[in-house]
Amino acid sequence: MVLQQLETMNNPKIALIGLGYVGLPLAAAFANEYKVVGFDIYTKRISELNSGLDYTNELSTEQLKEVIGTSLTLTTSLEDIANCNIFIVTVPTPVTSSKSPDLTPVIKASESVASILKKGDTVVYESTVYPGVTEEVCVPILEEKSGLKYNYDFFVGYSPERINPGDKKHTITKITKVVSGSTPETLRFLSELYGSIIEAGIYEAPTIKTAEAAKVIENTQRDINIAFVNELSIIFSKMGIDTNEVLKAAGTKWNFLNFFPGLVGGHCIGVDPYYLAYKSQELGYTPEMILAGRRINDHMPTFIVNQIVKHLLSQNKNIKDAPALILGATFKENCPDLRNSKVFDVFQELKEFGFKTHIFDPEADSETFIKEYGFQKLSVLSKSHYDVVILAVSHDCFREVNPKELIKEDGVVFDVKGFYKDTDFLYL
Ligand SMILES: NC(=O)c1ccc[n+]([C@@H]2O[C@H](COP(=O)([O-])OP(=O)(O)OC[C@H]3O[C@@H](n4cnc5c(N)ncnc54)[C@H](O)[C@@H]3O)[C@@H](O)[C@H]2O)c1
């Protein structure tokens, strides 16, 4: 059997399953060295990519043209990846409305791969999961649907993805890649395979569960650290102390960690802690700190709007029908992704108080915006029009915007991100 795996090592034919923020850049990186087929169930995504458009903005039209049609082919048909021998799964791992892991995409992708799996093949999972998903959920599906035997006929690996959408510095090949395998030979093979495209180097994790756990704690740690500074901002606002000034002063100590208050949304930091918490609870331990972090961060939209309302009421301003503007709608800066953005919660809170709210975000995907909000985002900004302007996302393009020009004479600017550093503004 190791012989068949050796053949794969000498002639890797790679299939990427799921061409989103993670799968597409990885497919393109592998396509610089190997023949790659990208598979996605979303027909529109494939036709857009074939026409040179990546809605995630991770790859430019030029970058797409360099690989598509030469070393990278794209398909919605499983038949087109049937002769591949390495299957890398990069599908979403969301949570349900009750914040439990929704493994449906991972399960469906495993079923698809199982239907074409052959002796000697290797399946690698990159989606963020809780420790145990690869071996306890995916491998049984691969075995059952293919009729093949795990670690005898086929092999499995887990290699978490660490890219940061919108970040053009820490791109896929420049981030150390953690790799794990179901056998020592698989680990060696995957280490070599990824090592051939990752400039930053490979870290070999001793087990698949270790690699799964490492990824989920990276994002959980970030969530907890941000929750801590968010909690500080709630406490210090009661004391009339500027949190950002406190953090600046404390940051002069060599081992003080630099985190800043803000909204935590998206489908990684705001979601992954629930995966770890779910598994922990299944094993009988309810995590205190992890879930407290989630609660604090989820409370921030309410806190921000309450601060604004208190301020306006203290100025004897009428809130009903007051025009409000939010700058930024996406879940993070310089990224078009609106999924699970906490700006939506800020908008809802403002609506409940009766504000008439507009949103301006040149980076946000227009089609998804209308689906989420039911109205169009602003394309032009009106001057001296708003009672409140909220800077919610620090897109680089907002450097060109002067919020003071947008508010009425007695209006207020709430700078959630501490972006403008103007002493007249309100901050977290
Ligand atoms: N986006 C990030 O910043 C980031 C960073 C690191 C890790 N991750 C993790 O990587 C995984 C993928 O995230 P993403 O942001 O790339 O997701 P995404 O939603 O951008 O893309 C996923 C793609 O998978 C496709 N897909 C869904 N089900 C499929 C199936 N059964 N078969 C084939 N294709 C299918 C979708 O159509 C979509 O194009 C998630 O687990 C995420 O947590 C994401």
- DSSP for 388-416 reads EEEE-S--GGGGG--HHHHEEEEEEEEET
Report whether residue 128 contacts ligand 1, using a CB cutoff of 6 Å: yes
**Residue ranges, CATH 3.40.50.720, the chain:** 2-209, 239-427
Query: How far apart are the CA of 304 and the centre of ligand 1, in A?
Result: 31
Pocket test for ligand 1, best of 22, 106, 338 (most atoms within 8 A of CB): 22
d(CA 360, CA 330): 10
Model confidence pLDDT, tens digit, residues 350-402: 999 999 999 999 999 898 999 999 999 999 999 999 999 999 999 999 999 99
Instruction: Name the token pair of 285.
Output: 């331990």
The strand order across the sheet containing 177-181 reads 72-75, 36-39, 14-17, 86-89, 122-125, 155-158, 177-181, 202-204
**Active site (annotated) includes residue 268:** yes
The sign of the torsion formed by the CA atoms of 339, 363, 353, 299 equals positive
Query: How far apart are the CA of 269 and the centre of ligand 1, in A?
Result: 14
Report whether residue 42 contacts ligand 1, using a CB cutoff of 6 Å: yes
Name beta bridge partners: 101.
Answer: 95
| Ligand 1, atom 13, residue with closest C-alpha | 92
Report whether residue 17 contacts ligand 1, using a CB cutoff of 6 Å: yes
User: pLDDT band at residue 4, thresholds of 50, 70 and 90?
Assistant: low
- Side chain identity, residue 253: K
Question: Does residue 8 carry a pLDDT above 90?
Answer: no
User: What is the pLDDT averaged over residues 134-141?
Assistant: 98
User: What is the pLDDT averaged over residues 6-17?
Assistant: 86
User: How big is the chain by its Cα radius of gyration, in Å?
Assistant: 24
Half-sphere exposure of residue 93: CA atoms within 13 angstroms, side-chain side: 29
Report whether residue 165 contacts ligand 1, using a CB cutoff of 6 Å: yes
User: pLDDT band at residue 168, thresholds of 50, 70 and 90?
Assistant: confident
Ligand 1 atom at minimum distance from 39 CA: 33
| Ligand 1, atom 38, residue with closest C-alpha | 20
- Side chain identity, residue 54: D
Identify whether the C-beta of residue 59 lies closer than 8 Å to the C-beta of residue 163: no
- In the numeric block, the tokens 């802690």 are attached to 273
Identify whether the C-beta of residue 184 lies closer than 8 Å to the C-beta of residue 351: no
HEC sequence for 348-385: HHHHHHCCEEEEECCCCCHHHHHHHHCCCCCCCCCCCC
Report whether residue 20 contacts ligand 1, using a CB cutoff of 6 Å: yes
Ligand 1 atom at minimum distance from 109 CA: 31
Residue 307, H or E segment = helix 288-314
Q: What is the pLDDT of residue 389?
A: 97
Identify whether the C-beta of residue 360 lies closer than 8 Å to the C-beta of residue 325: yes
- In the numeric block, the tokens 């203290």 are attached to 314
Q: List Cα–Cα distances, 47 to 40, 55, 92, 229, 412, in angstroms.
A: 11, 12, 20, 43, 45
Helix residue spans in 196-287 (DSSP H): 208-239, 243-250, 272-282
Report whether residue 161 contacts ligand 1, using a CB cutoff of 6 Å: yes
Nearest to 341 by CA among 308, 316, 369: 369
User: What is the pLDDT averaged over residues 271-285?
Assistant: 98
Query: How far apart are the CA of 127 and the centre of ligand 1, in A?
Result: 7
Q: Which of 138, 268, 335, 397 is catalytic?
A: 268
d(CA 195, CA 202): 6
Model confidence pLDDT, tens digit, residues 235-261: 999 999 999 999 999 999 999 999 999
Q: Tell me what the pLDDT averaged over the chain comes to.
A: 95
Question: Does residue 170 carry a pLDDT above 60?
Answer: yes
Question: Does residue 1 carry a pLDDT above 60?
Answer: no
Select from 3.40.50.2000, 3.30.499.10, 3.40.50.720, 3.30.420.40 the CATH code of 239-427. Answer: 3.40.50.720
Report whether residue 40 contacts ligand 1, using a CB cutoff of 6 Å: yes
Report whether residue 127 contacts ligand 1, using a CB cutoff of 6 Å: yes
Question: Does residue 3 carry a pLDDT above 80?
Answer: no
Quote the DSSP letter at residue 58.
S
d(CA 186, CA 207): 11
Q: What is the pLDDT of residue 187?
A: 97
Ligand 1 atom at minimum distance from 108 CA: 31
φ and ψ of 326, to 5 deg = -105, 125
d(CA 215, CA 344): 27
d(CA 145, CA 223): 37
**Apex 335 CA angle, 201 and 93, nearest 5:** 65
User: What is the pLDDT averaged over residues 84-104?
Assistant: 97
d(CA 317, CA 281): 47
User: What is the pLDDT averaged over residues 177-201?
Assistant: 97
Model confidence pLDDT, tens digit, residues 282-330: 999 999 999 999 999 999 999 999 999 999 999 999 999 999 999 999 9
Query: How far apart are the CA of 354 and the centre of ligand 1, in A?
Result: 37
d(CA 273, CA 285): 14
Q: What is the pLDDT of residue 126?
A: 98
d(CA 340, CA 10): 42
CATH class, domain 2-209, is: alpha beta
Report whether residue 18 contacts ligand 1, using a CB cutoff of 6 Å: yes
Query: How far apart are the CA of 261 and the centre of ligand 1, in A?
Result: 27
Query: How far apart are the CA of 89 and the centre of ligand 1, in A?
Result: 9
β-pairing, 122-125 vs 177-181, is unpaired
> Coil, helix or strand for 172?
helix
User: pLDDT band at residue 428, thresholds of 50, 70 and 90?
Assistant: confident
Q: What is the pLDDT of residue 6?
A: 67
